[in-house]
Structure 1
Amino acid sequence: MDASAKPYTLYGAPGSGATPVHAALTLIGAPVDTVDIAPWKSEAERDKLLPVNPMRQAPVLVLPSGEVMTESAAILVWLGDCHPEACLAPGVDHPLRAQYLRWMAYVSAAIYSMYWLRDVPSRLAADAKAEAVVLARTAERISECWRLMDAGVPQGSPYLLGDRVSVLDLYVTVVSRWTPRRMRFYRDAPRLADMVRRVDAEPRLGDFWAARFPFTPGWEGTESAT
């Protein structure tokens, strides 16, 4: 990567949906400036994203050209395609391309989408009692989706698309750390669990994880987390 290349600008707090994008940029070796905004915390935080995303959601990636991208799966797919030298995604003619796109969309639509409601349950729940139901039921839905993915991905490779870390692996690794968190994920998706542990231990990401999504005591949670 050219050291003089204009940097990307990435909006989103550590541990958020910006994290797999930042991890991918780290593996690519691309320069990136970060703007830490946590839109789940408050209306004021969400409003900080208005200049770059009218949805007030993160991640947002501003490309070196100045073009704005949103939607985590789209950003990751784009990065994989635009930086083939990093070998983070199968090419358009690769036999695994269809399944790669399938699971990228699945994680985004079936699992990641649940957190729009989980982060602020009052968006659809009328009171505290209803919010508790929403949190419990979305936790069950997330676990079910991980189980279905675990049963559907190919066996026999260290990563989801073969012998190399891909943006799909990065995506699953980060999202699997969100509530109901890893202990329950390990139980529900034992094959995926082996993969995410490898990504956790990826030497090229050691400093990145420590800085942007550290493995602090208790980070894996409990099996009953909601």
Structure 2
Amino acid sequence: MDGGYVVYGAAGAGSVPVEAALTLLDQPYRVVEAASRDQGAANEEVARVNPMRQVPALILPSGELMTESAAILIHLAESHPRSALGPPIGSALRPRFLRWMAFISAQIYALYWIRDAPSRLAADLDHEALLRERTAARIAECWRIMGSQIEPVGRFMLGEEISVLDLYMTVVSRWGPRRRVFYEAAPRLGGVVRAVDGEPRLAALWAARMPFKEGWES
């Protein structure tokens, strides 16, 4: 591994904020392309490291495995304290940071296990459509709650420096029901995600892993 990280992930998936964090940290890493659904040879590659068959999974330079996107992002920030990708223990911003990292993970991100493949829970096609509708409404409500209870400290969520919270929110807010719903639900947070979208150090990553194709906000 040449002392670097190994990211099991896919374009547009939950591995993208991890890849973004590693890019900002200027840490060497390689990506093992994998599917996050329950089929395909690529998914078998994920299953060898993560029995949940989900991405992201991260192999640390030490060889240890990490899963769960929020945990990975918090660990990366804490492992590189000079990067300012997360507030240190003792910071007045630390409770806010941990609260909203966990909120995105538990209340929003978790719903995509259903949205990505409603047939996992749906009884029929009509039920699949209902699950998509209700999970979309729940996601919008969660963004509304987050937007009503937190105000960015500066250009980004925690100040003038980008953090892994910004990366996490930015990527997840691009998934269905997509950005237009996010902007309507949490207008105070719109400037933050746009700033992350436009971060020059991430331009090549976005182009390769989550491109801004025409109509992507809808």
Q: Structure 1-normalised TM-score?
A: 0.93
* CA–CA distance in structure 2, aligned partners of residues 36 and 46 of structure 1: 9
Partner of 1:50: 47
* CA–CA distance in structure 1, aligned partners of residues 168 and 60 of structure 2: 20
* CA–CA distance in structure 1, aligned partners of residues 145 and 55 of structure 2: 26
Partner of 2:154: 157
Q: Match for 2:70 among 59, 70, 73?
A: 73
Runs of 4+ aligned structure 1 residues displaced above 6 Å come to none
Q: Is the CA contact (8 Å cut-off) linking 2:34 and 2:42 kept in structure 1?
A: yes
SS of residue in 1 equivalent to 2:49 = coil
Partner of 2:80: 83
Partner of 1:207: 204
Q: Is the CA contact (8 Å cut-off) linking 2:152 and 2:158 kept in structure 1?
A: no
Q: Match for 1:25 among 22, 27, 40?
A: 22
Per-residue deviation, 1:169: 0.1
* CA–CA distance in structure 1, aligned partners of residues 30 and 42 of structure 2: 18
Q: 1:155 to 1:86 in 2, by over 3 A?
A: closer
Cα deviation code 1:89-120 (max 9, x no counterpart): 00011111011000000000000000001111
* CA–CA distance in structure 2, aligned partners of residues 85 and 117 of structure 1: 37
| Mapping 1:62-141, distance limit 5 Å | 62-141=59-138
Cα deviation code 1:172-223 (max 9, x no counterpart): 00000000011111111111111000000011111111111111111111xx
* CA–CA distance in structure 2, aligned partners of residues 184 and 40 of structure 1: 25
Is structure 2 residue 184 aligned with structure 1 residue 175? Answer: no
CA RMSD in angstroms, aligned pairs only: 1.4
Is structure 2 residue 61 aligned with structure 1 residue 61? Answer: no
Q: Structure 2-normalised TM-score?
A: 0.96
Partner of 1:10: 7
Please list every run of 5 or more consecutive structure 2 residues that lacks an aligned counterpart in the other structure: none
